[in-house]
Structure formats: structure tokens, C-alpha cells
Amino acid sequence: MKVLFVCIGNTCRSPMAEAVLNHLILKQQLEDWQTDSAGLRDWNVGILPQGRGQQLLQQHGLKTNHLGRLITPQDFYEFDYVLGMDNINLEELRQMTNRLQPPPQCKIMLLGSFLGRKEDEIIEDPYFTRGMSGFHAAYAQIRESCERFVQLHKGKEQQLQAVTL
């Protein structure tokens, strides 16, 4: 399973999601899972994630050494899931794939869609909020979404393994 998280600048939401899923991958011993994050704009290429996001991750015992990067056409072929944070991300991702040949097989979805609550499926960009409140809200949605994603897909993997044994 290969999962790519995408947001506008790859400095807040997507690196937090990558750190959360990496933690869950280790905790659940999902050795064949991989995760990364990328941005739709090149503003933060080569730069560590936003300081407030790193501070929040540290408060939860997590960390990231991710350096911002721009999404590439190849990402759509290398990852099983490309998960955006809001509808603008989702629309841009879909537009990018519409120009690719052959059409990529990855699933492009909102990370928050795994919550099962329509009102919470958009993970708002905390970058422009004052203080930490926006980061706390985004982190809570990201954490729960990643946990649900793992629950859903770990179960499917175990079912496939049972069938093939």
C-alpha cells in the first residue's frame, strides 16, 4: 500500500498526515506500506514543514524530517491512493490526472472522507490561522482519518492474505 498526501503547499496538513500514517504503519507493523506527501505549489520545495505543525506533532510524540516537494505526474502511477485535504486539492488532482496517458489507476480522494461524516471531510488549511487552534483541528481530523484508513485497508489486506493461503 502506497499513500500520498497532498495539500496546497506541503507545509502543514500533508506533512502532518504523512507523520501520523508513518506512526500508524510502525505501530501496526505494516511493513509493506509506504507514505509520502507533496504540494500542488512549489512554495515550500526543499523546506521543512511549518513550525506550528512540527510543534503539534512533537506534542503527540511524532516528528517529521520531510522536506517539501511538488507533486509529479509519476506520483499518480506510483501511489495506490492520492489523498487531498479539501475540494480545491481534489479538483486540481483530478485535472492533473485527466491529462495523463495512460490513465493512472490510483484512487484520488479526500482524506477526510474516511471519517464517514460529510461535515468533517474537508480538512481546513491551518496555515493562515492565528495560534494553534487551526492546527489542533486539522491534526484531530487527520489523526482520525488516518486511523480509519488503516482500519479499513488493514482488514482488506488480511482478507486477501487469508484467501490466498
Q: What is the mean pLDDT of residues 45-54?
A: 93
Report the alpha-carbon distance of residue 154 to residue 120 in Å, rounded.
23
* Catalytic residue status for 7: yes
Report the alpha-carbon distance of residue 148 to residue 71 in Å, rounded.
25
Q: Which of 7, 12, 106, 146 is catalytic?
A: 7
Closest CA to 127 of 46, 51, 37: 51
State the pLDDT at residue 156.
65
Check pLDDT > 70 for residue 127.
Answer: yes
Per-residue pLDDT band for 157 (boundaries 50, 70, 90) equals low
Closest CA to 137 of 56, 28, 82, 19: 56
Q: Which of 75, 106, 125, 143 is catalytic?
A: 125
Q: Which of 12, 13, 69, 86 is catalytic?
A: 13
State the pLDDT at residue 18.
98
Per-residue pLDDT band for 111 (boundaries 50, 70, 90) equals very high
Q: State whether residue 41 is helix, strand or coil.
A: coil
Report the alpha-carbon distance of residue 71 to residue 96 in Å, rounded.
10
Q: Which of 15-29, 121-135, 151-165 has the lowest mean pLDDT?
A: 151-165
* Catalytic residue status for 94: no
Q: State whether residue 75 is helix, strand or coil.
A: helix
Regarding predicted confidence, which is higher, 155 or 51?
A: 51
Per-residue pLDDT band for 93 (boundaries 50, 70, 90) equals very high
Closest CA to 6 of 58, 76, 62: 76
Threshold 0.95, pTM exceeds: no
Per-residue pLDDT band for 154 (boundaries 50, 70, 90) equals confident
Cell of 149: 484508513
Percent pLDDT > 70 in the chain is: 93
* Catalytic residue status for 42: no
Check pLDDT > 50 for residue 14.
Answer: yes
Q: What is the mean pLDDT of residues 95-114?
A: 97
Q: What is the mean pLDDT of residues 101-127?
A: 95
Check pLDDT > 60 for residue 61.
Answer: yes
